[in-house]
Structure 1
Amino acid sequence: MRLSIAAKLNFFLLFIFSMVLVFSACYQAVRERDLILSLIKEQSQEQTEAYFDSLNMLMLTGQMAARDTLREKFKRHSHVKDARIVRSTALTRQYGPGRAEEAVQDDFDRLALEGKGSLEVIQEGASSRLIATLPLRASKAYRGTDCTSCHQVEEGTVLGAVRFEYDLDALFAQVERSILGSTLALTALFGAGLLLTLWVLRTWVVNPLGQLTRAMEEATDAPLPGRRLEIEEEDEIGRVAAAYNQMLDSMERRLAPRPSEPGAQSRTMSAAADPKRG
Structure 2
Amino acid sequence: MRISITGKICFILLVIFSLVLISTTLYQAFRERELVLKLGTEHVSALLQNYRNGLDLISNSHQPEQLTHYQQTLAEQKNVLRVKWIRTQGDDFFGSVSADNLPSDEQEKLALQGQTTQLTTSHNGKTQIVTIIPYYLPTQSISDAKPVAAIRMEYSLDKQLDMVEQHILISAIMLSTIFSGVLLMTLSITRKHIVLRLQNLRQAIDDVVDFDDTSTRLPVVHNDEIDQVNESFNQLMTHLSVKLPDNK
- Whether 1:160 aligns to 2:149 is yes
User: Aligned partners of 2:83, 2:239: CA distance in 1, in Å?
Assistant: 92
Pair 19,95 (structure 1): closer, same or farther in 2 beyond 3 Å: closer
Instruction: Say yes or no: does 1:147 pair with 2:140.
Output: yes
Structure 2 match to 1:131: 130
CA root-mean-square deviation:
2.4
Task: Report the Cα distance in structure 2 between the residues aligned to 1:119 and 1:248, rounded to whole angstroms.
Answer: 83
Q: What is the DSSP-based 3-state SS (H/G/I as helix, E as strand, rest coil) of the residue aligned with 1:213?
A: helix
Q: Of 183, 194, 202, which aligns to 2:183? A: 194
* In 2: Cα distance, 1:239 partner to 1:118 partner: 74
- Correspondence list, 1:38-77, <5 A: 38-77=38-77
Q: 1:248 to 1:75 in 2, by over 3 A?
A: same
Aligned residue for 1:172?
161
Q: Equivalents in 2 of 1:174, 1:224: separation in Å?
A: 68
Alpha-carbon separation, structure 1, partners of 2:155 and 2:76: 11
Distance 1:114 1:241, change over 3 A: farther
Counterpart of 2:174 in structure 1 is: 185
Name the CA shift for 1:156/1:219 in 2 (closer, same or farther; >3 Å): farther
Instruction: Give, in whole Å, the separation in 2 of the partners of 1:194 and 1:184.
Output: 15
- Aligned AA for 2:113? E
TM-score (norm 1): 0.81
Letter in structure 2 aligned against 1:21? L
Flag the 1:241–1:163 CA change in 2: closer, same or farther, 3 A. Answer: same
Instruction: Structure 2: give runs of 5+ residues left out of the alignment.
Output: none
CA distance in 2 between counterparts of 1:31 and 1:167 reads 19
CA contact (8 A) 1:48 1:163 kept: no
- Alignment correspondent of 1:241: 230
Q: Which runs of 4+ in 1 moved over 3 A?
A: 93-97
Question: Which letter does structure 2 place at the counterpart of 1:214?
Answer: Q
Q: How many residues align?
A: 248
Q: 1:226/1:78 Cα in 2 relative to 1: closer, same or farther (>3 Å)?
A: farther
> Per-residue displacement from partner, 1:95-153 (whole Å, max 9, x unpaired)?
66524432212232123223221221111122222101222246xxxxxx4237xxxx9
* 1:206 is the counterpart of 2:195: yes
The reply to whether residue 229 of structure 1 matches residue 228 of structure 2 is no
Q: Which residue pairs with 2:8 in the alignment?
A: 8
> Against the structure 1 CA distance between its residues 206 and 107, is the aligned structure 2 distance closer, same or farther, given a 3 Å change threshold?
farther
Aligned-pair CA distance for 1:15: 2.2
The one-letter code sitting in structure 2 at the alignment partner of 1:167 is S
Does the 8 Å CA contact 1:83/1:163 hold for their aligned counterparts? Answer: yes
Alpha carbons of structure 1 residues 17 and 214: separation in structure 2 relative to 1, 3 Å: same
Unaligned ranges ≥5, structure 1: 139-144, 264-278
Cα deviations by residue, 1:213-272 (Å, 9 ceiling, x for unpaired)? 1111112112242411012211111111112112212222333449xxxx9xxxxxxxxx
Aligned amino acid, residue 64 of structure 1: P
